[in-house]
Structure 1
Amino acid sequence: MSIGSHIAELRRKHEHLSDRVELAQRSPGTDDLHIADMKKQKLRLKEEIERLSHA
Structure 2
Amino acid sequence: MDNTHLSALQAKHAGIEARIKAETSRPLPDAILVATLKKRKLRVKEEIASAH
Q: Is the TM-score greater than 0.5?
A: yes
- Distance in 2 (alpha carbons) for counterparts of 1:22 and 1:6: 24
Unaligned 5+ runs, structure 1? none
- Give aligned-pair identity as a percent: 33
Match of 2:10 in 1: 11
Query: Partner residue of 2:37?
Result: 38
Does 1:23 pair with 2:22? yes
Contiguous gaps of at least 5 residues in structure 2: none
Letter in 1 for 2:50: R
Runs of 4+ in structure 1 over 3 Å off: none
How far did 1:31 drift? 1.1
Q: How many residues align?
A: 52
Q: State TM-score, norm by structure 2.
A: 0.91
